[in-house]
Homo-oligomer: A and B are copies of this chain.
């Protein structure tokens, strides 16, 4: 297993070209949020914007659209209809798929809820996406029903489970996972041909070929609601900027951990909230890129 340090990232984050426009930095689609859990969508979206994505679209149930538009000035929303009462057809998913076709990365899961609609969305994305797919939170919670689809995805996938979600994906108990973090992630990556980001005190990243990376940043203050959503946003933005997937995952967990470390310098570990981490992301990326410039 290789440790992820600032040095590791030197070759991952590129210097921006002078003649670039927002299209050069990707068009990402985030599918996140449901009644009671719009905050997860807000955090993931803000983290993506603060990590440099050119344009971000957020797919959100129409009845929640105003909440998200009020909170996310630089994000465009894609409101979709959710069936009410005993209506069966979830035609709103077509609006999401339409946006997916114009995107170069899609992330899904934060605050989505464990509804029938989430199942439909995850299945459709896995079947139809031609761009990289990042699966988190409730997308992982419904995934056990359709694990085989993972192998059929046209592009590559990153999964970002915490031990509880990994338990559902593997059928193992949480203690079994915590005692064999590297092996569990490695086996899953190989079996399904996906990148796994197994979260925890030292986050483990494994890829399809058996490489293993361990993160070195972060602190217990990050054990707070919304922390994982921020990670999803960072990785999404990096993939959108055409950084290779394993590089984006590595840079993502490193930057996420550092954002928590920087936030803790201001608030301490008790009072840190996920929004504090988002605020720190730009300066951490800049610090890494500037060191690169110094070397070049």
Partner-B contacts on A (CB < 8 A): 13, 16-22, 24-25, 35-39, 42-43, 49-52, 54-56, 64-67, 69-79, 162-163, 200-201, 220-221, 223-227, 266-275, 281-283, 285-286, 289-290
In the assembled complex, the Cα of A70 lies from the Cα of B285 at a distance in Å of: 28
From B77, B267, B274, contact of A286 by CB (8 A): B267
Report yes or no: A74 in contact with B275, Cβ–Cβ below 8 A. Answer: yes
Report yes or no: A282 in contact with B274, Cβ–Cβ below 8 A. Answer: no
Residues from chain B with Cβ under 8 Å of A162 in the complex: 21
- Residue from A21, A65, A200 having most chain B Cβ neighbours under 10 A: A21
Chain B residue nearest to A178 in the complex (CB): B19
CB distance from A68 to the nearest CB of B (A): 9
Residues from chain B with Cβ under 8 Å of A266 in the complex: 282-283
Beyond A67-B70, A74-B226, A275-B74, is A79–B18 a contact (Cβ under 8 Å)?
no
Nearest 8 Cβ contacts at the A-B interface: A271-B282, A268-B286, A52-B270, A267-B282, A16-B220, A39-B73, A50-B271, A36-B77
Q: Identify 27 residue pairs between A and B in the complex whose beta-carbon atoms are under 8 Å apart, listed by A's number.
A: A16-B220, A16-B269, A16-B270, A21-B223, A22-B225, A24-B223, A35-B77, A36-B76, A36-B77, A39-B72, A42-B73, A43-B74, A49-B224, A49-B225, A49-B273, A50-B267, A51-B270, A52-B224, A66-B66, A74-B226, A74-B273, A267-B283, A268-B285, A269-B286, A270-B282, A271-B283, A272-B282
